[in-house]
Amino acid sequence: MEETDVIFLWGSNARDAHPIFFHHVLKGVRAGARLYVVDPRRTSTAAWADVWLGLRVGSDIALANAMARVIIHAGLAHKEFIERATTDFDKYRACVESYTLDVGERETGIPGEAIRDAALAYARADRAMICWTLGITEHHNAVDNVLALINLALLTGKVGRYGCGLNPLRGQNNVQGGGDMGAIPNRLAGFQDILDDTARAKFERAWNTKIQPHYGWNLTQMFQAMDRRELTSLYVIGENPAQSDADLHRIERLLEELDHLVVQDIFLTKTAEMATVVLPASASWCEAEGTVTNSERRVQRVRKAIEPPNDARDDIWIIAQIAQRLGHDFGNPSAEDAWNEMRMLAPMFRGMTYARLDACPGLQWPCEDETHPGQQFLHARLWSNPPEGRLAPFHAVEHDPPVEQPDDEYPFVLTTGRRLESFNTGVQSQGYDSPLHRGESLDIAPEDAERLGICDGELVIVASRRGSIEAPARVDYALKPGLVFMTLHFPDQVPTNFLTIDEFDPKSGTAEFKACAVRVEKIVLGESVLGGAAKAALGGAGTFSAAAQVAAGGHAHQVSTVLQAHRAEGAPSTDRRPQEPFAAAAENVKH
């Protein structure tokens, strides 16, 4: 990153959402790299860019395909690499041929010349990187969006070598590590396909149990199964779907209708407040041993610094206790025991002993034996002659705009994102004072604010086809007319996810948080704020008082009660819980 020539941050406001990573971006910029930011908003990241490509929400494939056509017609496709290391190029070339600069400009709103210049800069650079995050993946066609970016890298041979590559910036700490361990519904540890008979048999022998030879449900499919009453019990570890998922009216109803809900967390989240059983867990970054995998596949050790307070317990211990009450003796495994079992079952981690990880800043997988230094470039094999392993396929993907388009009734596009000082649903960040905290707002372009007669700080109603909320308006010159922006950080004040749409990518299960149609109406203080239907949708009351506090400069922060219980010496952490929560949880899992 620091020694590349061109950097594309595509759907990534890294300065706010990945500030540590962004320091490395700035080092590259100061060393001479050209920075292109592709984002509907002129974000704080775009302020550092050489070029801001302010595309329409959901037009990423149209932009990528138009760039690809420019590269092919300019004779800048890496023919040698394409012929040796890829497949399906002819299909891809035929697909992008219709994406002329005129089409690209019409679909994205970016001038054709700007698209052309960006394409040529990327193709002509010796070294170039494309980095993306939720602005690409939180769409109903998330996987196709990613494939469109991969296509650009394959087209120009910018994979598997120094200063080049494709870099998905993970939305939360250790998301990569969760995938490594098999915390996805179609893979075992080490990304081994659960439908692979050989791989499955290996795990069955180690675990002395049969593994069902079919894929499981992702989160979206789980909620669909709840709706069908095929899923009636849920065990939630470190997630807060009651506030983080789209179309919260539906999510709350489905969680309330469960027969049994177990939540294992370090905070009493909104989801935990709905639970039958709450299992207080340890904070893995300081109260537990283990490993973490970062975005460059580097596995590093996490070391325990302090003991968990009160009744909080290590996650592995909790799971082992549940297993014991289900009739399976896991013993009392340490984090290293669990890691070593995984190393024996997943060849890509076999060389990563705790001793080696303790002695270095981390190792990058694959690392197949204890003499292997770790693989710096994951796809370096594609440059071997002949290439090692499977060739890299091109994918012909077509522009597919957001499911919900603006119309006369809902004329704005709402997109969501993050701010620098806050995190996700605010559970870990709302309880702390920060001069950057300003509560939730409806960010709106100055042209739209003037047309609607809305001033900075005035309360507005934001309505979608799913519900209505109130928020103070904030005039934001980074927005184009027709686009409004909110975060998910302050759901106790302004539940933004009452607005978002329950559409998702069938390949990944990712919800379309980045685009839905809304209406914005000015509120006249002293008049009825929300109609009866909207109040009912919000549980019988609007959010006027909290919003008013925000408009007046207050924060309306509420420190999570479990944060108090988790940190206060002697405070009981099992109130509202059965005396033997592990037995209660296990008994319901049996049935």
Q: For residue 502, what is the domain's CATH number?
A: 2.40.40.20
Q: What is the CATH number of the domain that holds 347?
A: 3.40.50.740
Q: Report the half-sphere exposure of 381 (CA within 13 A, side-chain side).
A: 10
Task: Give how many domains the chain has, as a whole number.
Answer: 3
Which of 169, 189, 208 is a domain's end point? 169
pLDDT number for residue 554? 35
pTM comes to 0.86
- Phi (first) and psi of residue 113, to 5 degrees: -65, -35
Instruction: Determine the pLDDT at residue 437.
Output: 78
Instruction: State residue 591's pLDDT score.
Output: 41
- The last residue of a domain, from among 169, 190, 218: 169
Tokens of residue 198, six digits:
């050989």
| Residue 181 and residue 160 share a domain | no
Q: Based on the domain organization, do 195 and 289 belong to the same domain? A: yes
Q: Are residues 221 and 355 in the same domain?
A: yes
At residue 560, the pLDDT reads 29
The pair of three-digit structure tokens given for residue 375, joined into one six-digit string: 């693989």
Integer Cα distance of 455 and 453 in angstroms: 7
Take residue 417 and report the two structure tokens written for it. 């994102």
Q: Is residue 228 part of a domain?
A: yes
Q: From the centroid of its chain, how far is CA 349? A: 24
Domain identity same for 76 and 157:
yes
Residues 146 and 100 in one domain: yes
pLDDT (0 to 100) of residue 527: 52
Asked whether the beta carbons of 484 and 422 are under 8 A apart, the reply is no
Residues 257 and 331 in one domain: yes
Q: What is the CATH number of the domain that holds 99?
A: 3.40.228.10
Domain assignment present for 100: yes
Does some domain include residue 543?
yes
Q: Is 461 left (phi over 0), alpha (psi -120 to 50) or beta?
A: beta
Instruction: Give the C-alpha separation, 84 to 67, whole Å.
Output: 23
The type of residue at 496 is T
* 361 and 272 in a common domain: yes
The domain in which residue 242 lies consists of 175-383
Does a structural domain hold residue 401? no
Kindly state the tokens that stand for 379. Answer: 């796809």
Q: From the CB of residue 231, how many other CB atoms can be counted at a distance below 10 Å?
A: 17
Domain boundary at 368, 383, 398, which?
A: 383
Both structure tokens of 458? 């005035």
**Is there a single domain that holds both residue 114 and residue 153?**
yes
Cβ(482)–Cβ(449) below 8 Å:
no
CA distances from 584 to 236, 373, 579, 580, 590 (A): 15, 46, 9, 6, 10
Residues 134 and 90 in one domain: yes
Backbone angles phi, psi at 81, to 5 degrees: -65, -45
Q: Judge whether 11 and 135 are in contact, CB under 8 Å.
A: yes
What does the pLDDT profile of the chain (591 residues) look like in tens digits?
899 999 999 999 999 999 999 999 999 999 999 999 999 999 999 999 999 999 999 999 999 999 999 999 999 999 999 999 999 999 999 999 999 999 999 999 999 999 999 999 999 999 999 999 999 999 999 999 999 999 999 999 999 999 999 999 987 889 899 999 999 999 999 999 999 999 999 999 999 999 999 999 999 999 999 999 999 999 999 999 999 988 999 999 999 999 999 999 999 999 999 999 999 999 989 999 999 999 889 999 999 999 999 999 999 999 999 999 999 999 999 999 999 999 999 999 999 999 999 999 999 999 999 999 999 998 999 999 888 899 999 999 999 999 999 999 999 999 999 998 888 787 878 777 888 878 899 999 999 999 999 999 999 999 999 999 999 999 999 999 999 999 998 888 899 999 999 899 999 989 999 999 999 999 876 553 444 333 333 333 333 334 333 333 333 222 222 333 333 333 333 333 333 444 444 444 444
Q: Check residue 427 and give its pLDDT.
A: 81
How many Cβ atoms are within 10 Å of 453's Cβ, its own excluded? 8
Asked whether residue 562 is domain-assigned, the answer is: no
Same domain? For 154 and 200 the reply is no
Q: Is residue 115 domain-resident?
A: yes
Predicted pLDDT of residue 445: 98
Same domain, residue pair 157 and 207: no
Domain assignment present for 559: no
Q: Does residue 352 share a domain with residue 437?
A: no
pLDDT at site 323? 95
pLDDT at residue 421, rounded to an integer: 85
